[in-house]
Structure 1
């Protein structure tokens, strides 16, 4: 129900934590790692805050060779939005001239639960870095993503415990002609995830993102409805990988998926963290594995009977 680990890799580069000022650590070659800049989310007096650490980072490394940045925690991320971080990154765009990848909000549940992370309008970062190829953000509270155009972005990942419909519509309404991978954690309505398959219409119709080859619609409490919508979606015909993991997928959704258009052209189908019966899991394997599709049906879940006839099922990450 929570994020338990930090990113280990971004843009094909291992993540390296920019150290504390007093640490005696040999720094790697600037362009050989994704630099993680993080500060305590529960700070004490005298702690170096995120903005201070970022300024020290800019003075320490060869900024013209930085290829990837991971923003970790910032002071009281559960109360303070990412707006100041976004502004700081934009202000450094004339120095971070080689930057190709950014991930904003790499925090575990111990730092700040995913649904507590206060984000902001993150699209100015895309405008400030036209050479950006990969962008990711974690946390849906106050997240804004009005439709934007970016000619080079190839990967967009948005991880939330609840992705607002307005944000979904902004993303799928964006002009991203180079986008090859899109991953959205839709979440639950309890944490602001009020989108429906209708909000995904331009994406599913295939009219958005002509280069798209990898699609993830994950962590959804309405995963059966998402699967049913995907089953007839024109965009699926050009996909290589489809990810419907982490959500409340039951036999109903899996049956709709299999009864829809052929999926045998896929190289990989991810249904991990699911609520499928063993019989349905076998049906999925039998329909796809003989055609060379790798199918991930790991992390099988069992709903909880509350004793009154209701069965409770949960997404993988919410709070």
Structure 2
């Protein structure tokens, strides 16, 4: 919880930003019309597709596998071209793996081809139920791994011996061993990694470890930061974070990893509460015209553009190939119809 001393100046900055941005943000602008007319009309077809395919997924504790490309997400056989595997193991919610595959598709469909190819080369997604830990369902990540390293990073101690768990983690700089990250994390093994997310968060059903943020979107941003982006882009993110911290642009962002993860969540509207984004969301800010500053994802992106142009340029390049007007069309969760 931030103290009142921190919150008051932070709200003042946001109020000033609202007046500044509301003068230039226009729902009828050419850019906004571009956004509205962009190729974003797949919702009806894909939602119907999830609904109908969920009818056919009747067995509980099922394994489901899909392959995501930049053109689609419901391939049940690995295509000839590059793709990202979304593998659900022992799932209890019908349609959860398909819903996760849809989210991944929405994250990658407009990004530069070279970034997607890097993702597809050695990275996959794992969806698992709350009753199990990922290591119990995906045994490839426990081969030759010291038992102490299960879900832990950095230097650990086992039988009075020091064990370096770094080869089984993405980075020791972001703390995954605390309770907030106990069942959602990215696990790297050699040159291969799998991003894990619990099924109930993807579809917002049952026990949800975070009912207010899409953990798949957040962890996807972390995966890009640690496993995918080239050194120059990572350096640019670090420099943008340093500049934002020096300018007090966002409140309490702990490091460049969280900075990019929160930016990813904001870019894709993946959080249900603004305070989770530490200032990067603007849906509750009223402009000088008396209207909500951000009425949609386009407005959210414009807010980031005005507050933090460096972060905006990075997100616009990485996820949209410099086409801000193309809507990601993601949300807090994807509803999977659990229909017998």
TM-score calculated relative to the size of structure 1: 0.32
TM-score calculated relative to the size of structure 2: 0.30
Structure with more contact order per residue of length (Cα contacts < 8 Å, sep ≥ 6): 2
